[in-house]
């Protein structure tokens, strides 16, 4: 994983990511669906690795895109963040300036993360995220910082609650 700064974060795609992507793509009936599943899987796996690196738990097995029936039926690239929700990890191919959102992913998401692929599919760059969407296409230039996403996913610090006797001291 390479990190120059949060705005230009690059993640290397290793053998394991491509192994999952190849396996899931091979299960599809058409070349177009295989390609879609391949890119979706790589995008989700890259975000999974990044969040794991940051110490944020994810659950690939609970993600719709890891379910063979759901990934066959829908164009999903979700990553479950336990106790928080589903993060949609949308692939952006080289030269593209927009993120396309199929209807099945425009609800029930905690956010949408755009993942730009390198030409050789050996690295991705996290371009930014949107917390909500109002259209089926997001302009990459309008995405919020990845830093904002991390703020959304990080739990709030636990503050020690005051005990009743501490409150009584305040009023004595």
pLDDT tens for the chain, 172 residues long, are 433 344 568 899 999 999 999 999 999 999 999 999 999 999 999 999 999 999 999 999 999 999 999 999 999 999 999 999 999 999 999 899 999 899 889 888 999 999 999 999 999 999 999 988 878 888 999 999 888 888 877 654 444 554 545 545 545 5
| Domain count across the chain | 1
Buried b (16+ CB within 10 A) or exposed e, 45-81: bbbbbbbeeeebebeeeebbbbeeeebeebbbbbbbb
Instruction: Give residue 50's pLDDT.
Output: 94
125 has which bridge partners? 10, 116
Q: What domain range is 99 assigned to?
A: 2-171
Full-model pTM: 0.83
């Amino acid at each position: 994983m390479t990190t120059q700064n949060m705005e230009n974060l690059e993640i290397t795609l290793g053998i394991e990511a491509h192994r999952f992507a190849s396996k899931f793509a091979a299960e599809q009936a058409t070349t177009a669906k295989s390609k879609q599943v391949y890119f979706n899987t790589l995008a989700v796996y890259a975000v999974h690795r990044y969040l794991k690196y940051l110490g944020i738990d994810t659950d690939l097995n609970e993600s719709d895109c890891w379910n063979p029936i759901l990934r066959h039926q829908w164009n999903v690239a979700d990553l479950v963040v336990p106790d928080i929700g589903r993060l949609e990890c949308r692939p952006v191919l080289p030269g593209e300036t927009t993120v396309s959102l199929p209807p099945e992913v425009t609800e029930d998401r905690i956010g949408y993360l755009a993942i730009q692929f390198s030409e050789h599919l050996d690295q991705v760059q996290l371009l930014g995220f949107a917390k909500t969407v109002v259209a089926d296409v997001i302009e990459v230039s309008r995405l919020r910082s990845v830093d904002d996403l991390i703020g959304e996913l990080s739990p709030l610090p636990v503050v020690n609650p005051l005990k009743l006797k501490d409150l009584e001291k305040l009023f004595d």
